[in-house]
Structure 1
């Protein structure tokens, strides 16, 4: 079995508590050998870090950091459901970026999520991804990330 929680400690990353849903849904669910997370916002300590749109109130570098925060929240949801060390890796990431008129660097913003997953999981963090620009996100959040992880059934 892989020891992803040990890897987090090695790179100095701590998983947050599972973020409370902002509506009626579960933070993560398991179906077969996969865990699907709900869209995770950049919430730290129960509070949304910032609001606004990329290309207006939020710059691209801040967006990357927010995508990283969302991804940590998604991993916390996975960990809360099945334990991070039960994962074989990450299969898919979907990111939504609240975008001002003319902002088209959604993939660069979502690199914050993808790079974090690579730091933690190495090759097992290589995933398919969609980066979608949207007009608005819940609570005025700039970024939202969801992921699909595969459970290691060989352990």
Structure 2
């Protein structure tokens, strides 16, 4: 994914916000992000400074790991999805799994999705995961809705 310089800067700022929320504001944020994302600390540091952005195959994992949307990180939308903002720590795993299901499908099938529609898909996916529905079946349903 290519971003204009001003969007890369915004990405870096938002990534710092999301990392601060997850890791705290202590020193070593780049190292912790690098460990979670299986990249070098240098790469994570460049992401945090907005010098480069992740490869497309890392976006879903990054968004899920930080409980934000890829669209929010890139500045395509200005509000975090409500489903992510209001989730407690106990539900973080299900939220992350929902993001891992939804974001790659949205990126491939309907990148112009509205924030409301994205929120709806996240809420639906989250609820189905909490009800112990098979993730592959959920993914198929989401793909059909996006087509």
- TM-score scaled by length of structure 1: 0.26
TM-score scaled by structure 2? 0.27
Structure number with the bigger relative contact order (C-alpha 8 A, sep ≥ 6) is 1
Q: Counting strand residues as a fraction of each chain, which structure ranks higher?
A: 1
